[in-house]
Structure 1
Amino acid sequence: MAAVKYTKADWVAQADIQELDNGQFQGVVLVSREHGNSSEEARHTVAAPSDSPEQALEQATALAHRLLADVTV
């Protein structure tokens, strides 16, 4: 994973895509603490699949930004 990686304080959001069985693509984001344990990891998916990997990655990066914006430092 991790086509794109963003950080805020000690939080990391890694955005990537996955190909679905129907040929579409879905953006996924893994949010975790840089020095935390696996119980602090959360996987998020973009709500709607995309027809292209570029569009799915764009949606995943937008989701990563929104998720990190909600993190309180």
Structure 2
Amino acid sequence: MDDVTYTKGIYTAVASVRPMNAGQYQGLVSLARDDGEDLENAIYEVEAASGTPEEALEEAKALAHRLLGELEL
């Protein structure tokens, strides 16, 4: 499953999925800030597990939108 990338100003959020135990999947968001001098990265995990990778990716995309929406440029 392909990752989905969103940008807002100097921030880039990449939504992805990782497999968990018992056939479950978890959505992840990697949030990077690149201001030209420093590159800062943070990983955020969707709290709930999903039964399919598609559901997990949808949850990760929602988290990415929420994280980028909270940023002030």
TM-score, scaled to structure 2:
0.89
The reply to whether residue 58 of structure 1 matches residue 58 of structure 2 is yes
RMSD of aligned residue pairs (Cα, Å): 1.3
SS of the residue aligned with 2:62?
helix
Shift in Å, 1:33: 1.3
- In structure 1, runs of 5+ residues without a counterpart are none
Residue in structure 2 matched with residue 67 of structure 1 by the alignment: 67
Distance 1:58 1:67 in 2: 14
Residue in structure 1 matched with residue 12 of structure 2 by the alignment: 12
Shift in Å, 1:23: 1.2
SS of the residue aligned with 1:49?
coil
- In structure 2, runs of 5+ residues without a counterpart are none
Distance 2:72 2:13 in 1: 14
Distance 1:29 1:49 in 2: 14
Equivalent residue letter for 1:24:
Q
Distance 2:51 2:22 in 1: 10
Shift in Å, 1:13: 0.3
Residue in structure 1 matched with residue 47 of structure 2 by the alignment: 47
Distance 1:57 1:31 in 2: 15
